[in-house]
Amino acid sequence: MDDLSLHILDVVENSIDAGAHNVEIQILEDLKADILKIEITDDGKGMAGSALEKVLDPFFTTKKVRRVGLGLSLLQQAAQMANGDLGIQSEVGQGTTVKATFQHSHIDRKPLGDMAKTLMTLIISHPQIRFKYTHQKDGQKYELDTQALMQTSDLSSLSVIELINLIRKNFPEIS
């Protein structure tokens, strides 16, 4: 994967596959501390200890359609290449949290990528899911919560164009 937004997309898709109805994505860029943190939390089915122990193994997957699960192991590799690491906490029936840290200035850190397109893709593909997105960078904070959109309209009944226009109207920063 060329950038971190694609890793985020992959982790969130796994959350949705695990039955999540709420997904929170937090990004913190602290240039003074030279750190980039990505945290993704869901309320999906969670994982038992045995699955949690194997989840970073690229040859382990719970999916029936393919035999490998490269997503998290590739994110871990990307974090470690940039002087960071990956941690996963999960509880059956409660959900999962994936935390990745990176040295922000590290030459091998992948770029964050186009989070606006990633968020648009997720919202359009999964209008029934509540997404909360927070991005902090040196004291400035941007937040998006699709619950506001859900209160104004049944997102699943909108066409893609109508949904894009609604997102642009309510969250012009991401469009």
Every domain of the chain and the residues it spans:
4-174
Distance (Å) of CA 133 to CA 55, 136, 165: 24, 10, 19
pLDDT of the chain, 175 residues: tens digit per residue: 789 999 999 999 999 999 999 999 999 999 999 999 999 999 999 988 767 676 766 665 555 554 434 678 899 999 999 999 999 999 999 999 999 999 999 999 999 998 988 998 999 899 899 999 999 998 889 888 888 777 777 777 777 787 777 777 766 665 5
C-alpha dihedral sign at 158, 164, 167, 170: negative
This prediction's pTM: 0.86
Give the Cα separation of 7 and 124 in Å (integer): 18
Name the CATH topology of 4-174.
Answer: Heat Shock Protein 90 (3.30.565)
